[in-house]
Each structure stands twice: as structure tokens, then as C-alpha cells.
Chains A and B, each alone.
Chain A
Amino acid sequence: MALDANNQLLVDTLEAAPLVDGRYENVKLVNYNSLNDVRRGCLSMVFGAFDTISQKKVALKFYDLSPALMHDQYRRAAFFREHELLERLITVDRCLQLVSLMSTFNLTVKHGSATLTLPCHYFAVEWIDNEVDAFFLSANKFSAVDKLRLFNEIVLSVETLHNHDIFHRDLKADNLRSYTEALKRTVVAIDLGTAARLDSGKIQIGYGSHVGARGYAAPEAIGGLTDNRRVAKYTDMYALGCLLFELFNMDYYFVAVRRKNHAFDTVIAAIASKITGTTDIEREQDWCTAMTPLAGGFTPVSIAEPGSSVPPGVVAILDEILSSLTNFDYRRRAHTLASVRQRVWSALRVLTNEQEYQRKLTQARKLKQLRREKVAAREAKISSRRVA
């Protein structure tokens, strides 16, 4: 979709301005591809710019000026909420940093002979260049150790948000960036457009659907608890589980889980149909009550699904992590991300210690062998019974 006239005017004005607000130069729209008229993100117009004060590249986030969104209370509130959350995270490591607080850029609009001034809200955040997409899309180029180290960093970035009672709610590879300092890679979760705090008020009553990417949305987020802050932590955990799976597998987790559980969406729909409460607690209770009988037949997805590149010696540990992050029942997901990292480190230790790896590998093979022997014994028993 082509940019509307308001946004186009904003883009033209900013890109033509030698210096915005007396400090930002070389302003360039970055979340819009003019070749195919596709824009990323739905709340804002994102510009890359050079900050002449900090001498660093920054991202300027302007509220969308399209007439359809300009007076949308929900989107406007979300835009301001993002800024508020970022304010709380100033100086917090592993978090996206504000470079300048919310300001207003006065856009001059000529309407016939009249001239109007349109106040445009924006704020600036640090520009983090490195995407982590390659780990997910060119997984074959990275070792299991590299992938787990990255995952550990991702968990740390989310854990930091959670430690400040902030829940991202749109975790996906696209919303992760990394930077390297002193040879150490740090991951930061960007785009807090849909993030919320535990005690932040709701900006919309009765969400129609999940917020954030559907491919990483937890069952409870798809099924009616989207706006429930009390479960938002677990929704982030679910997304982390999806990311872990995708580091080692060909398919998206969204696809893999539905391949193994054909009735996955039906079960969510069934549970959702039973949510009638009005308060968060009531709705949570409704969800849990309806889920207990309906989700019993859920078959977990293994980290070692067909086509997986996971080393066999760590399958058991990673399966444990995956299951603790993506359990259908959010109450059974990991309670803290610290415990997840501990297990990630266990896997890393196994992978970096050949002797330990061989021991785990033998253990896994023995387990499988034992099952085979049990089945063989049962088969022998049945054939002997037949002969008798």
C-alpha cells in the first residue's frame, strides 16, 4: 500500500530537512519499501538518522499520520506507552535505549491558500544494526554452540525486560538485534510497540485477537487472554520456545505443533468459547477450567523433529527446555527465565565437553535401545503365547 499524503509529506519534509530538531541529519524512512509499497510495523513511521550530538546513528519513531490512524485511540495510546516503557528502561543493560524523549515536530501542511501546522509526535532510540535473522534462516551455517549462545542472549534480553515487569508480547527474530562489545555479543529486543507492563492499564477493552506475530503467539494469547498482563510473561516464554525450535529445525514451530496436533486450533477455539468472565482473574479461571479437559491430548513437539540439526547428545536437555517454554498450559511453563538459562548452559557444557557429550549420547542411545528391547520382549511373549 502506498504511503498516504500525510505520511508522504512527513517523509518528504524530514528527508529534505538538513537538520531535524537541531540535531538529526540524513533522515531516511526505513520501515517502508517503496518498491513493493510494503511497510513494517503498524504504529509508527521509522526513520534512520544521524544524531549530531551523540555522533551515532539513531532511529526516529514518528506516530503514523495516515487519516485512518491519526485519531485511533488504541494505536496512539500504544505509541505513547512504548515511549513510557523505554523511559523506564533508560540505563538498563540489554534494553533498547531512548536517545531523546518524546518531542513534537511541527509539520506544515498547505491546504489551498491556508497553511496548517500538524504536530507530529516522535522519539529517538538507539540504532542497533545487527539482525539475528541469519541464525534462524541460515541455521546450517552456525554450530549448535553458536545457536545456543545466541539463544542464551535472547533469553537474557527478555529476562531483563521481565525483571522490570515489562513483557514484550511480540518476540520474533525480526524484533531482535545484537551488538558486539569486547568480543561479546549482546542481544536486545526492539520494537516495544505491543509491550506492556504488569501494572499498565489496558488501552483497549476486549482485544479481538492476539497482539504481536501470530506465528509466535501462545495458545492463551490466541484464545482470549491477550490483554491479561498476568499471563503476558508466559506468552513471551512461548515465543522464546518457538525461537529455540527454529534455531534447530526446518519448520516454524507454529507449523510443527499443528502438524503433530491437528486439532490445535480447534482446541484453542473451544477453550476460547468458554471464556465469559469480565475480570482478568475470572477470564484466567475460565481459560484454565476449560483447558484442563480439552488439552490433555496435546502431543509435545520435539526439538529433534524431522530435518532437525540438533546434536543427538543434547536432544533430551533441549526437549526439556522446549517443553518448559511451550507447554500448552501456561501454568506449567518455566516460572523464571533464569532456570531456562541454567538448562541452556547445561546443554552448552555438554556440547563443549566431548567426554560429557559422548556420555549423554550413550545415555540417549541406551534409552532408545531399552525401549526397543522391551518391545522385542513383548513381541516374543506374544508369539510364544500363540504357539502354545
Chain B
Amino acid sequence: MFLDKIPEDQPNLLVIGENVELVISEDETNPLAFILPPTEDLSEMDWLSNKNFSLKDLTSSYDEKNKDAFSDDFENLQRKIKKFDDSPVAFNRLANLAVLRGDLSLEAEYLQRASELSSDVFFAHRKGENLISRGLNREAEIAFSKLDTSTDYYANLRLASFEIWRRDYDKARALVANAVKLDPVEYGARLFEGALRLIDGEPAKAVHSFRIAIDDRPNSSVAYTNLAVAYVQLSLDEKAIASLKRAVALNPLNANALVMLADLTFKVGQDQDAVPALRYYVQFEQKSSAIWARLARALLEIRAYDESIDALKRQGSIEKSSAIWNNLGVAYHRKRDHGKSLSAFKYAMTFDNEKKGKNFFLAARNIAITLANEKQNEGLLKFIRMIFSFDEESLIIRDSTLADLVSLYIQTLAHMGEISLAAEISESMLRNQNVVSSLRIFAATGLLSFYSFRDKEQDRALQLAKESAEWLGLIDKKDVRLKERLINNIAYVFADNNRVPDAEIFLSKISHLIHKEPYPTSVLGLIHFRKGNVEKATGLYDEAVHLALDRSDKTRIRQKLYIELSNYWRLSDTARAKRFLIKAIEAKNGDKELINRARSLLLNSPAIL
């Protein structure tokens, strides 16, 4: 039926937020008007915004100190240079000091002087680097291209980097191959080679390149990070995680490696592995929104709710976005602080109030789920209808997460007894080509159940079962749970209509769920009823009742069992059959559709009458 489970809370925190302009527009008729604004959290974020420590800020003060300190050294050496005006080393040192003072033009002058005194290729390289630092890439490329690439390892790599910039990978490949030939064990060439192999979609070869680079420079955090990228491309997540852990151990301030580690451990459900490194990083750099977001997500996954909320507030003190408030709402929701959760979601909606994009509807979706959990059905219907009215671009039905608003709406209608309207909306979802797969599956699953309970709709139930069966293969892997429910209902419709072989074919697709989940187990029971194995069937129904966690599911399965038993005894023991139907009708908090069906059977069966 449509009375499926309420969609899950936003399963986890969304870590990529977008900066949207804050637009607050309060509407008095809005059902959210009674939700208080999150003033406490806002003031905490405001306070935190001045407290965030950044290593980058501190390091830049070191750079300033360097500039001052080396100015004296520079002037001192400048005074002496007459004594050493035939020495390329002396001019190179002046060039070093010029850079430390932040004067790249002066560096160029001194490198020129040095190169006039020495033919060492070192100076040609440095002059090229200087041009790059000054943004004169074209001139730098010309300078490097004048060098002998048959012997000059460094020139090959530099020229290759220019080719990468203009995306001429063939030329880059040839140059890097040349460099590798000149020095097959050197770090730089192998790192470059590995990166190119990743671009070429050859991760296994890239692993080889990065391994050689690591042999040459075992402490390179960068090489381990790249190695992890190669492992990810090979779908070797565990190896990638191990490599990233090494990268982060070598350089705990390597934000790239840390972000990747956090994302990967999240993907495989090992968030606890990234938490220590994330916690460590934020001791030094508290102005990285990306890291706070990941720390909050990982902490939420390991159920450290308070710390996760603190991390989100830190993120909120750096960046103001709907996504952060949405995430904060989710964290409060998990902590079962529904008041603060609603408050955060409502605040998230205000960010996107004018544009009404995905973030607006995501917050609305989260509010709807919170209201549904609190069984505020009337308010929920009113709220969802209002949200639908804002959806001018039909964003909701096109996004699998936002589509929960529609499924919630259908479910709530069913709860409120408006089954026909729920069915009507579900049919419209099936007809709409823009509807996202998950919502289509939800609608079909509910409709199959709806039609199968009505004698007059059995043809439509069978027709829908056949139609749904046709697009089973197109369902995305991520919707596997929904797909299983759909298959279950298809099998049910076939079994209910005495098409046992068809039912068996579909049930076999989810055979792994029999004896584990209530509904597939009960469908097998139904098949046995149809085969005449009443004892076996009853046993399976009893098992299904036992497996069901929800009281309403238990009741529904029992009701169906009574109807089937009534059907079995219909001809041989009408009184008994009648008793079963009455049991189905009188079931406490029973499913209304099944009650109606039992009533219809009771009324329409002459044998019983």
C-alpha cells in the first residue's frame, strides 16, 4: 500500500555547500511561522567567526618576517658583490635573496648575470622558473624549448607541463617518456608519468609509476595521495584508504589527501578512520569549510552528535549557506532535538527563499519528514501543498531526495483515508516522463498493492505488474531497496491472481530476503496457499508476522492471512471462513483496505451467507 515507511532522514550530511545570498522573508500564513529562529546557534557562530585559527595566516606572517630578515642580507651581499663579480654562485645567491624579499624582477637580473658567467644548465632552468613565477609562461616555454631535451631531464618535464596546460597529452606523454628514459628512478618524472597514466585511464600503470616515485621519495605525501587516486580508479578502496592514511600521516596538513580520505572512508562506512586526522587538522586550520563539513559528517556517522553539531557551527562561522543549516538540522534530528532541528531547517529555507532552488526544497523535505515523524498529518499536508506551489520548475519530482516530499504526501493522504486521491497522484507520477526513478518505483509499488486489494481492479493490477516488470532492469543500483519492494509487490499481484509460476519467477529475484523480511516471506506463504499447502503457508505467514518490526505491518500480514484462510475454508467450512473474515475486519488498528476487502468478501460470498 501507500502506507510505506516514512522516507529516511537525510541519510547523511551533504558536504558540498554553495554560497547563496541570505534572503529572509517571513510569511505569517506559513505553517513554519511558529518555529523559532535558531538565535542561539546564530550567535554562537557569530562568536566563533572571530576565533577561528588559521595556520595559513600564521605562515604568511613568517613570509613577512623572511622579507624583512633577508633585506639586510641582500643589502650586505650587494655591497660585497664587486669582490665576487666573476662568480655565478654569488649572483645566484643574490637572486635567492631577491626572491626572499619578494622581488622576482631583480631575481631575473641576477640570474641573467650568473648565466653570463656560467654555462651551467642550472641557470637556464632557474631563469625559466623565474619567468613562470612572473606569469610569463610563453617566454618560459621558449626558454625551456631551447634546451637539449635529449639530455636535459628537467627541461623535458617543464615542457611537458606546458603541454598539459594546453591539453596536448600526446606531446606531454612523449616528453615525460623522454625524462623517464633519462632517469628512470627519479621522483619527478614518475610522478608526472603516473598523473598522465591516470588521465589516460590506465590506473594500474599509474600505480607502478607512483610506486617508483615513492621508492625515490618515501616521505612524499603527494605521491601517496596520487597513488590513492589510482587505487580509487581501480575500485580498490581499501588500498586507496591505506595510501591516504599514509599521505596524511606524512603530512597531516595535506588538505587534499584529508578530504579524499574523509570522502572515501565515508563511502565505505569507515568514518571512524578519518575522524582522528580531521580532528587533528582543525587544530591548525579552522578556516576550511570543506574540512569542518567532513568532520561533521564523519562525527555524525559515528554518532558523536554534539561534536558534529559543534563542527557544523564552526563551518557556519566561516560560510553562510543553506546546506550548512540543513546539515545542522539533520544533526539535531539525529540527536532527537526536533525543536532545534525544525528551527535549523526553517532557517535553511530562508537562504534560498527567493530563488527556491534545490536547497530550499531539501530543507522543506527535511521539515516534512520531521513533521511526519511527529505524526502532524494535517499540518504536514498543508505544508507539502504549499511547498508544491513553489515548485514552478518541477524540481521536486526530478530529484530522488526531493521526491520524498511526493511520497510523503501520498503516504499521508493514505493515512488520512484519502486513498483514491493518493492513487490518482501515483498514477499521474507514472504517466509523467520527468519523474525520477525512485518516485516512479514508489508509485508503482503502492498502486500494485492498492489495486490488488480491490476485486474490480485486478486487471489493472496485473497490467501494472507487467508494465513495472519491464522497467525493472533500468532501475539504478542505489534504488535497490525500492526495487526489491516493487518486485515483492509484482510477485504478490501474480500470486494473488493465481499466476503462481510468474509469482515464483519474481519472488526468486528477491529470494535472499525470504525468512529475513516479512513481506517476501508472506508472499511465499501466499504462493503456498495458491498451491494448496495451507500448513506451510500458515507457517510462513506466522514467520512474517514475527519478522515484522512494526505493529501495523504485523496486523496487516495477519489480516491477509485471515483472508487467505477464509478463502481456503470458503467451500468446506463456511462458518470457519466467516470467522476468519470477521477476524480480519475486527483486527485492532487494521489496514482499512484489507478491512474493506474482507467486508466485501463477507457480503459477496453466497456460500458464507
**B114-136 vs A: 1/0 string, CB under 8 Å?**
00001010110100000000000
Q: Is B63 an interface residue (CB 8 A)?
A: yes
Q: Is A92 an interface residue (CB 8 A)?
A: no
Q: Is A352 an interface residue (CB 8 A)?
A: no
Min C-beta distance of B277 to chain A, whole Å: 10
* A40-B76, A255-B100 given; A371·B215 CB < 8 A: yes
B120, B185, B283, B284: which contacts A371 (Cβ < 8 A)?
Answer: B185
Q: Is B391 an interface residue (CB 8 A)?
A: no
* A252-B96, A269-B59, A297-B251 given; A307·B80 CB < 8 A: no
B122 & A214 in contact (Cβ 8 Å cutoff) = no
Could you tell me which residues of chain A, from 353 to 383, have a CB within 8 Å of some CB in chain B?
Answer: 368, 371-372, 375-376, 378-379, 382
**A298 contact set on B, CB distance < 8 A:** 219
B99 & A140 in contact (Cβ 8 Å cutoff) = no
Q: Is A138 an interface residue (CB 8 A)?
A: yes
Query: Measured between alpha carbons, how far is A137 from B70 in the docked complex, in Å?
Result: 17
**B436-475 vs A: 1/0 string, CB under 8 Å?**
0000000000000000000000000000000000000000
Min C-beta distance of B108 to chain A, whole Å: 16
Could you tell me which residues of chain B, from 71 to 89, have a CB within 8 Å of some CB in chain A?
Answer: 73, 75-77, 79-80, 83-84, 86-89
**B204 contact set on A, CB distance < 8 A:** 382
- Chain B's closest residue to A209 (CB) is B65
Q: Is A296 an interface residue (CB 8 A)?
A: yes
A382 & B87 in contact (Cβ 8 Å cutoff) = no
Q: Is B154 an interface residue (CB 8 A)?
A: yes
**A304 contact set on B, CB distance < 8 A:** none
B185 & A368 in contact (Cβ 8 Å cutoff) = yes
Query: Measured between alpha carbons, how far is A222 from B70 in the docked complex, in Å?
Result: 14
Q: Is A18 an interface residue (CB 8 A)?
A: no
Q: Is A126 an interface residue (CB 8 A)?
A: no
A263 & B208 in contact (Cβ 8 Å cutoff) = no
**A40 contact set on B, CB distance < 8 A:** 76
**B280 contact set on A, CB distance < 8 A:** 293
Query: Measured between alpha carbons, how far is A265 from B66 in the docked complex, in Å?
Result: 10
A214 & B253 in contact (Cβ 8 Å cutoff) = no
Query: Measured between alpha carbons, how far is A174 from B73 in the docked complex, in Å?
Result: 10
A213 & B73 in contact (Cβ 8 Å cutoff) = yes
**A36 contact set on B, CB distance < 8 A:** 75, 79
B70, B80, B212: which contacts A375 (Cβ < 8 A)?
Answer: B212
Query: Measured between alpha carbons, how far is A38 from B96 in the docked complex, in Å?
Result: 21
Query: Measured between alpha carbons, how far is A136 from B83 in the docked complex, in Å?
Result: 13
Query: Measured between alpha carbons, how far is A209 from B221 in the docked complex, in Å?
Result: 29
* A137-B87, A250-B88 given; A273·B73 CB < 8 A: no
**B90 contact set on A, CB distance < 8 A:** 137-138
Q: Is B575 an interface residue (CB 8 A)?
A: no
Query: Measured between alpha carbons, how far is A298 from B219 in the docked complex, in Å?
Result: 6
B65, B70, B86, B208: which contacts A382 (Cβ < 8 A)?
Answer: B208
A293 & B58 in contact (Cβ 8 Å cutoff) = no
Q: Is A266 an interface residue (CB 8 A)?
A: yes
* A33-B79, A214-B66, A266-B55 given; A137·B84 CB < 8 A: yes
**A134 contact set on B, CB distance < 8 A:** 83-84
**B100 contact set on A, CB distance < 8 A:** 254-255
B55 & A273 in contact (Cβ 8 Å cutoff) = yes
How would you classify the secondary structure of chain A's contact residues: helix, strand, loop or mixed?
helix
Min C-beta distance of A283 to chain B, whole Å: 18
Per the CB 8 Å criterion, the residue count for chain B at the interface is 57
Q: Is A176 an interface residue (CB 8 A)?
A: no
* A269-B59, A306-B122, A307-B122 given; A299·B215 CB < 8 A: no
Min C-beta distance of A292 to chain B, whole Å: 11
Query: Measured between alpha carbons, how far is A294 from B55 in the docked complex, in Å?
Result: 13
A214 & B65 in contact (Cβ 8 Å cutoff) = yes
Query: Measured between alpha carbons, how far is A369 from B65 in the docked complex, in Å?
Result: 44
**A270 contact set on B, CB distance < 8 A:** 55, 253, 284
How would you classify the secondary structure of chain B's contact residues: helix, strand, loop or mixed?
helix
Number of contact residues on A: which range applies?
35 or more
* A255-B100, A270-B253, A270-B284 given; A133·B122 CB < 8 A: no
- Chain B's closest residue to A252 (CB) is B96
**A307 contact set on B, CB distance < 8 A:** 92, 120, 122-123
**B269-286 vs A: 1/0 string, CB under 8 Å?**
000000000001001100
Q: Is A311 an interface residue (CB 8 A)?
A: no
Query: Measured between alpha carbons, how far is A267 from B254 in the docked complex, in Å?
Result: 11
**B87 contact set on A, CB distance < 8 A:** 137-141
Q: Is B530 an interface residue (CB 8 A)?
A: no
**A293 contact set on B, CB distance < 8 A:** 249, 252, 280
Q: Is A348 an interface residue (CB 8 A)?
A: no
**A49 contact set on B, CB distance < 8 A:** none
A138 & B284 in contact (Cβ 8 Å cutoff) = no
Query: Measured between alpha carbons, how far is A294 from B254 in the docked complex, in Å?
Result: 10
Min C-beta distance of B363 to chain A, whole Å: 37
Min C-beta distance of A208 to chain B, whole Å: 9
Query: Measured between alpha carbons, how far is A141 from B284 in the docked complex, in Å?
Result: 47
Q: Is A301 an interface residue (CB 8 A)?
A: no
Q: Is A277 an interface residue (CB 8 A)?
A: no
B58 & A273 in contact (Cβ 8 Å cutoff) = yes
* A33-B79, A382-B208 given; A252·B120 CB < 8 A: no
Q: Is B250 an interface residue (CB 8 A)?
A: yes
B253 & A379 in contact (Cβ 8 Å cutoff) = no
Could you tell me which residues of chain A, from 247 to 283, have a CB within 8 Å of some CB in chain B?
Answer: 250-252, 254-255, 263, 265-270, 272-274
B92 & A251 in contact (Cβ 8 Å cutoff) = yes
B221 & A297 in contact (Cβ 8 Å cutoff) = yes
Min C-beta distance of A274 to chain B, whole Å: 8
Query: Measured between alpha carbons, how far is A294 from B249 in the docked complex, in Å?
Result: 8
**A133-157 vs B: 1/0 string, CB under 8 Å?**
1101111110000000000000000
Min C-beta distance of A337 to chain B, whole Å: 25
A215 & B73 in contact (Cβ 8 Å cutoff) = yes
Min C-beta distance of B421 to chain A, whole Å: 61
Min C-beta distance of B389 to chain A, whole Å: 52
B99 & A255 in contact (Cβ 8 Å cutoff) = yes
- Chain A's closest residue to B221 (CB) is A297
**A136 contact set on B, CB distance < 8 A:** 89
Q: Is B47 an interface residue (CB 8 A)?
A: no
**A222 contact set on B, CB distance < 8 A:** 62
* A140-B88, A297-B251 given; A379·B208 CB < 8 A: yes
**B185 contact set on A, CB distance < 8 A:** 368, 371-372, 375
A250, A297, A299, A372: which contacts B92 (Cβ < 8 A)?
Answer: A250
Query: Measured between alpha carbons, how far is A254 from B73 in the docked complex, in Å?
Result: 13
**A274 contact set on B, CB distance < 8 A:** 283
**B249 contact set on A, CB distance < 8 A:** 293, 296
Q: Is B69 an interface residue (CB 8 A)?
A: yes
B59 & A299 in contact (Cβ 8 Å cutoff) = no
**B239 contact set on A, CB distance < 8 A:** none
* A214-B66, A250-B88, A273-B55 given; A294·B93 CB < 8 A: no
Query: Measured between alpha carbons, how far is A252 from B99 in the docked complex, in Å?
Result: 12
A299 & B219 in contact (Cβ 8 Å cutoff) = yes
A141, A254, A265: which contacts B59 (Cβ < 8 A)?
Answer: A265
Question: Besides the contacts A38-B75, A273-B58, A372-B185, what 15 more A-B pairs have beta carbons closer than 8 Å?
Answer: A38-B76, A138-B84, A214-B65, A214-B70, A215-B69, A254-B100, A269-B59, A269-B62, A273-B55, A297-B251, A299-B219, A307-B120, A307-B122, A375-B212, A382-B208
Query: Which B residues have a C-beta under 8 Å from some C-beta of A?
Result: 53, 55-56, 58-59, 62-63, 65-66, 69-70, 73, 75-77, 79-80, 83-84, 86-90, 92-93, 96-97, 99-100, 118, 120, 122-123, 125, 154, 184-185, 204-205, 208, 211-212, 215, 217, 219-221, 249-254, 280, 283-284
Q: Closest 7 CB pairs between A and B?
A: A307-B122, A297-B250, A214-B69, A297-B251, A137-B90, A138-B87, A269-B58
A–B Cβ pairs within 8 angstroms, 18 of them? A38-B75, A38-B79, A136-B89, A137-B83, A138-B89, A139-B87, A214-B70, A251-B96, A263-B251, A270-B284, A293-B252, A297-B251, A306-B125, A307-B92, A371-B185, A378-B211, A379-B208, A382-B208
